[in-house]
Structure 1
């Protein structure tokens, strides 16, 4: 059952950033029998991607009807198996459950004797490294930490997003080429990240990606209340330009009232956001209060304070300008 992984070791690890979708191998060096535990938003996509890359999908686990339907849509005809049964049949077991559910799942599988020597066991949790798979490693399995720096919807749209996605990978030193090759099989770009760096790494991704959604949707709500009929179309060019400048210019790409030290404008923003609670004519669903901007003043204050601090530290504001901004941003 165990695959011969020796040819993986002949595959040189690429330097960071050297790999690209075009340079990814269309067929794996070793075709593995694999299974995926967890059919949330990530599991079905990876199951489909690795199967399309030439690996053999033995089966998946799915706890709900919704997750079974998601799996059926992404990998039609897949077999649904119990976790222990699936583990017994595969060379590579991929765990894509939630961060909170991962420790219990690994312990449960270890206690049932599901892991075996030479088997590859991978998880996709960004906050954890190899240590979470210690029970599997104690049984002789080979732990792999494979985290894609990407957002997933659980649909076929994600398959295109996988190409060019960067992955944080870790494995025992001799097996790092295996982890890197698995990522490159599906068009990813692997970067070796030690376990000690994982919490900060994951915090950075969550802060950027998750809070970006909150920030953008807050702006959309405020624009809608202000009377802009199609706020997404209205602000999209601005947000894309700001994001592009942030990537290419860093903090030097900042514009706006904080950068100018315009405390009066910032004060006016806070006053407007605090008043913004009138009924919008499209607000017919009480579960989606389009007119509720109560979360915006606090978020605006926090981000504006962080922005002002960074601009001041880079000597972009005078002492007087900075103190005026701080005074305006303080909760009254």
Structure 2
């Protein structure tokens, strides 16, 4: 149980970093899409397309078995543009967290359920897409900040959150529906939607895939947490693959006084602005004992201590 809580805390840091990055770096690097969408990443899932009638029309099996879900978006009325600092976190009638983006940068998103902030396993059981062997957790709202992302879109953070909430519920209740659901979400990490040669995409949408460094760090940590709780060998294999990819690429993503945000390498993230990168890498090193990750961690910590804030 404590492990789940620790993962949730780390996930919260990661999610906040995703939102804050757009505001903190906008003046120095032009974002190409939400959370620095990496358009250079190969779109291995070109069949993804939103159908007007079926939220899971991209199901490769042609199965329209998406779980029934209530409306996840309450549109904002025309209002002056708002910014990151205006975002609020609310509770609905069932005590589920909603994010009120208001009229963030004129996008008119309003109140939505962002799965990254939902801490209720039963909510996830009602908000997923069924692809037979695996499930995906969608983000059911559009995002048009330097991008053109239409719902539904996906990411390994939402997948990790749903998976960990479900296995946590199983640990508490011993109800096998939660364990079975978590395994279907685990299988989603093997899908072309989320898995790009062992890099678990932070954002996956038609022509807008983002291979994000902090998302990879968090999601491989979550996979290891799932393995520790369940002994699931697939989770261990996915974890090891994700670590291997990180070991190959993390040095190239490290720059003086910061890191590149994604594999596209078009945005630098200051260690002082986002120390949670160091926390995530430190956690992963404590799990793996990897000399490669330790060398990078030492560089990041040195930059944090010596670079100008």
Q: Aligning the two structures, in what range does the TM-score lie when normalised by the shorter sequence?
A: under 0.3
TM-score by length of 2: 0.26
Which structure's CA Rg is the greater one? Answer: 1
Between the two structures, name the one with larger relative contact order (CA 8 Å, sep ≥ 6). Answer: 2
TM-score by length of 1: 0.25
Higher helix share: 1
